[in-house]
């Protein structure tokens, strides 16, 4: 039988577009040291290490070979995982699985991306596309979300101005998060007048390229209770992938998010997500994605989320505190981004998110990871065991 598990320590770097002051290994060490300090542990207490990085976006191969010595994990059990945008999500899921076996007292989950050392065109231009599978459907992150946004507008009655409202809300949250990369003080007018990339996507709607790292420490129940007096329990997790570009060519709105959430909600006995989940950290690589994702996680009916922004109901201290950290449009170290979502969700449950803390008691928080062709990882956190 699987052990109950909890997050006992979290850490992340200050995310920036460039970190020329550190190597990738030193960047990772910043996040690991922060997580160990948060848990009041040392690397000697860690039994297993799970690393995650999308190597194409880093621009080099097998970076774990010099990261492991830098973080002091030589000789530890461990492995590295890659899965493009969901890399951090599957890295976290693997860490949860290992801790739940009861074989390891403490598992370190570490993900990173130092995109200032890679070809920046990759993140915005789809440079990793596989010609065999995707040659018939040329698509980049920009055109991907342009197609999704156009379809959403066509089906919902949403306008460009509503999408700008989403981006302004995201920025207002990021302005309160000292770790966020983009803190711009945006207005609707500024967003509406920004450079058009592929209608209706403007430059400010797309996630940035980021240098950053994040880490969490996961323990089975007995160990977790000894380590900390405020464990964040991992109630459930689930990974769900689909058919990639071929599926999206048929339906630009295709996503596994709703299905994955339905599976987790059923297993957790959740029937009213908006009432039973108090914090959301959902991976939205572009502003309009937030609208559809809000619907797919069960906050509102299909093609109605834009009305909630029009009514002023979305924000840290509003009825729907969605992505209080500022989300992915503010910070996106690709392979690391799902772990950033996990760190931020855990901080919300603990009440330690600082200026971007959601008011009131946070009993449950949902964090997700997303891959550009519709893959999703769902991570449900809870305050009480």
What percentage of the chain reaches a pLDDT higher than 70? 91
Residues 332, 198: Cα–Cα separation, whole Å? 20
CB 290 within 8 A of CB 323: yes
Q: Are 210 and 16 in contact (CB under 8 A)?
A: yes
Give the pLDDT score at 119: 52
pLDDT band at 127 (very low <50, low <70, confident <90, very high): very low
Over residues 265-281, mean pLDDT: 98
Phi-psi region of 326 (alpha: psi -120 to 50; beta: other; left: phi over 0): left
Model confidence pLDDT, tens digit, residues 175-201: 999 999 999 999 999 999 999 999 999
Least confident of 77-86, 293-302, 354-363: 77-86
Query: How confident is the model at residue 125, as a pLDDT?
Result: 41
pLDDT > 70? residue 4:
yes
Cα gap 100→105, rounded to integer Å: 10
User: Sign of torsion, CA 15 17 18 24?
Assistant: positive
Fold of 5-120+209-227: Peroxisomal Thiolase; Chain A, domain 1 (3.40.47)
pLDDT of residue 254: 64
| Range with lowest mean pLDDT among 2-16, 123-137, 263-277 | 123-137
Cβ burial of 61 (10 Å; 0-12, 13-18, 19+) is: exposed
If you average pLDDT over every residue of the chain, what do you get?
A: 91
Task: Say which residue the tokens 């939205």 belong to.
Answer: 284
Q: What average pLDDT score do residues 21-30 get?
A: 97
Strands (E), the chain: 5-12, 48-52, 77-81, 107-114, 196-198, 201-202, 211-220, 232-240, 279-281, 364-370, 376-382
Residue extents of the structural domains in the chain:
5-120+209-227
| pLDDT confidence bin for 137, thresholds 50/70/90 | very low
> What pLDDT, in 10s, does the model give residues 74-120?
999 999 998 888 999 999 999 999 999 999 999 999 999 999 887 54
Instruction: Give the pLDDT of residue 336.
Output: 95
Judged against a pLDDT cut of 70, whether residue 140 lies above it is answered with: yes
- Residues 219 and 281: their CA atoms lie apart, in Å, by 22
Q: For residue 54, what pLDDT band results from cuts at 50, 70 and 90?
A: confident
Q: Can you give the pTM of this predicted structure?
A: 0.94
Give me 210's structure tokens. Answer: 């980021």
Alpha helices in 72-109 (DSSP H): 87-100
Question: Of 296, 287, 236, 239, nearest to 266 (Cα)?
Answer: 236
pLDDT of residue 124: 44
Residue 365: beta bridge partners?
279, 381
Higher-confidence position of 127 and 250: 250
Q: Is the pLDDT of residue 364 over 50?
A: yes
Averaged pLDDT for residues 232-250: 76
**Helix, strand, coil content of the chain in percent (nearest 5):** 45, 20, 40
What pLDDT is stored for residue 253 in this prediction? 64
Which residues are bridge partners to 219 per DSSP? 6
In this prediction, residue 252 has a pLDDT band, given cuts at 50, 70 and 90, of low
Q: What is the pLDDT of residue 241?
A: 82
């Amino acid at each position: 039988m699987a052990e109950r598990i909890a997050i006992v320590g979290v850490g992340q770097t200050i995310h920036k577009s460039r970190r020329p002051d550190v190597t990738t290994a030193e960047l990772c060490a910043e996040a690991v040291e922060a997580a160990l300090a948060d848990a009041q542990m040392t690397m000697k207490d860690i039994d297993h290490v799970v690393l995650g990085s999308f190597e194409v976006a880093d621009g080099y191969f097998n970076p774990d070979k010099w990261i492991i010595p830098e973080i002091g994990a030589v000789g530890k059990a461990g492995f590295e995982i890659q899965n493009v945008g969901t890399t951090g999500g599957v890295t976290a899921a693997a860490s949860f699985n290992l801790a739940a076996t009861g074989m390891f007292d403490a598992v370190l989950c570490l993900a990173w991306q130092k995109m200032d050392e890679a070809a920046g065109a990759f993140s915005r231009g789809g440079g990793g596309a596989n010609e065999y599978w995707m040659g018939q459907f040329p698509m980049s992150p920009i055109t991907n979300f342009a197609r999704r946004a156009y379809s959403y507008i066509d089906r919902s009655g949403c306008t460009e101005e509503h999408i700008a409202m989403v981006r302004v809300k995201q920025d207002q949250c990021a302005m309160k998060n000292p770790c966020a990369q983009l803190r711009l003080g945006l207005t609707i007018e500024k967003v509406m007048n920004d450079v058009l990339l592929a209608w209706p996507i403007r430059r400010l709607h797309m996630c940035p390229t980021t240098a950053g790292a994040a880490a969490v420490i996961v323990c089975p129940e007995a160990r977790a209770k000894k380590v900390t007096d405020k464990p964040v329990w991992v109630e459930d997790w689930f990974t769900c992938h689909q058919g990639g570009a071929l599926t999206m060519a048929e339906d630009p709105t295709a996503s596994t998010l709703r299905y994955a959430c339905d599976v987790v909600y059923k297993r957790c006995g959740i029937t009213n997500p908006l009432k039973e989940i108090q914090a959301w950290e959902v991976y939205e690589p572009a502003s309009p994605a937030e609208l559809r994702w809000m619907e797919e996680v069960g906050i509102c009916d299909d093609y109605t989320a834009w009305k909630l922004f029009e009514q002023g109901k979305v924000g840290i201290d509003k009825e729907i505190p969605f992505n209080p950290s500022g989300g992915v449009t503010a910070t996106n170290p690709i392979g690391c981004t799902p772990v950033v979502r996990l760190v931020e969700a855990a901080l919300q449950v603990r009440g330690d998110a600082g200026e971007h803390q959601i008011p009131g008691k946070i009993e449950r928080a949902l964090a997700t990871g997303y891959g550009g062709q519709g893959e999703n990882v769902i991570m449900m956190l809870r305050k009480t065991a």
